[in-house]
Amino acid sequence: MEYLKEIIKWIKTEVKKAKAKGVIVGISGGIDSALVAYLAKKAFPNNSLGILMPINKDRYFDLEDGLELVKTFDLKFRIVDLYDEYQSIVNKTKIFSNLTKGNLQARLRMTTLYSFAQENNYLVLGTDNKAEYNLGYFTKWGDGGCDLLPIIHLYKSEVYDYAKKINVPKSILDKKPSAGLWDGQTDEKELGFSYDDYENYDRKILKNKELIKKIEDQIQKTNHKRQPIPQPIEPIRSLYQPYSLENWMNKIKQKDIKKNIEELIQNIRSKFPELTLTIKWNQLIFMLKKTFILGIGYSKEFINIAPEQEVVEKFKEEVMKLNYFLTKNLIKIPINQKINWTFITKIIKNNIKEKYNYQTFWR
């Protein structure tokens, strides 16, 4: 139970950091939300709220289990029946597949939770365990939409172990894991393997190659759910006036310098997409969170790399081995020499690591 105490302490800390007043959790009648409801009550005895949201008339027994749970933990709760709203959207959109309708249910519940959360200045607690999260077994912008994930590091078996210790009702303990999105649906039937299989896989003791492939395919195809929303690279802007990369490059008359700089830019943007590129001091400047990482310039005989004076000193020996030249602030690469991309990568990684928590220029 010590780990649960750590989670409770963590929830309190995160709520305080967010300047919120408490927490809210959707009560599904399942084992995961039961454990999270317990954590919510322990963290905020007077400022926690459970929301029961029946939506599927084939699964109204989940409501009964949820009611037994909130009674067991003496949790404040509200019931919001979403059946009519759900049917209205289904009729208007004319959707038919179980999966689409199931995801709609999850997103309606998420919308309801956030309505209550905003009204009360509460944070929404998610209920995904380690397996569900890593397998992507949740609805994007549905039950995957939350502010905190308290049990994300617990295997399903551990969720059950803790649930027994905190006296979760037997009706919930004995129920087959199910998202409750359509009649007869169970998690393990839909996944094609069990939660124990996943745990064994994650612990690297699963031997069945067919199951290993199924699990890895599931992880791969749902990877988008666990990643930030993809974004294109930022446009290049001068800090002082509209000035494009094209204009800057067009000023370079020597073809070999131009070609090398183009390759350098392409490699950096490919390897470090988190860096933004702007133009200042007649240099190309790569930045992270508005913090200087690397400058690129040129002269008649050299491509100039400006990584900060401290970095020039740190990598001095390597620079000499590569037959590059040094000044106080610059690493100068002769135009007739190949740019060592491994070396440039090392410098950038060094600067990102050193400057990650800085919010402004060091200059």
Q: For residue range 209-261, list pLDDT tens digits in order.
A: 999 999 999 999 999 999 888 877 766 555 444 457 777 888 888 888 888 88
Report the pLDDT value the prediction gives residue 283, as an integer from 0 to 100: 84
pLDDT exceeds 50 at position 358: no
Minimum mean pLDDT range among 31-35, 44-48, 176-180: 176-180
Report the pLDDT value the prediction gives residue 59, as an integer from 0 to 100: 75
- Top-confidence residue, 182 or 319: 319
Minimum mean pLDDT range among 102-106, 254-258, 332-336, 359-363: 359-363
Report the pLDDT value the prediction gives residue 146, as an integer from 0 to 100: 95
Domains located in the chain, CATH noted:
2-226 (3.40.50.620), 237-355 (3.90.1150.200)
Report the pLDDT value the prediction gives residue 241, as an integer from 0 to 100: 46
Report the pLDDT value the prediction gives residue 57, as an integer from 0 to 100: 76
pLDDT exceeds 80 at position 179: no
pTM of the model: 0.67
pLDDT exceeds 60 at position 157: yes
* Residues of the chain above pLDDT 90, percent: 57
Q: How far apart are CA 349 and CA 357, in angstroms?
A: 14
Q: Are 268 and 326 in contact (CB under 8 A)?
A: no
Q: How far apart are CA 306 and CA 329, in angstroms?
A: 6
Note the Cα 59 to chain centre separation in Å: 31
Q: Are 325 and 339 in contact (CB under 8 A)?
A: no
- In three-state form (DSSP H/G/I as H, E/B as E, the rest C), the secondary structure along the chain is CHHHHHHHHHHHHHHHHCCCCEEEEEECCCHHHHHHHHHHHHHCCCCEEEEECCCCHHHCHHHHHHHHHHHHHCCCEEECCCHHHHHHHHHHHCCCCHHHHHHHHHHHHHHHHHHHHHHHCEEEECCCCHHHHHHCCCCCCCCCCCCECCCCCCCHHHHHHHHHHCCCCHHHHCCCCCCCCCCCCCHHHHHCCCHHHHHHHHCCCCCCHHHHHHHHHHHHHCHHHHCCCCCCCCCCEECCCCCCHHHHHHCCCCHHHHHHHHHHHHHHHHHCCCCEEEEECCEEEEEECCEEEEEEEECCCEEEEECCHHHHHHCHHHHHHCCCEECCCCEEEECCCCCCHHHHHHHHHHHHHHHCCCCCCCC
The predicted-structure confidence for 100-139, as pLDDT tens digits, reads as follows 999 999 999 999 999 999 999 999 999 999 999 999 999 9
The predicted-structure confidence for 260-311, as pLDDT tens digits, reads as follows 888 888 889 888 888 888 887 778 889 887 788 899 998 888 999 998 878 8
Q: What are phi and psi of 95, to 5 degrees?
A: -85, 150
Q: How far apart are CA 354 and CA 363, in angstroms?
A: 15
pLDDT exceeds 70 at position 362: no
Q: How far apart are CA 108 and CA 99, in angstroms?
A: 14
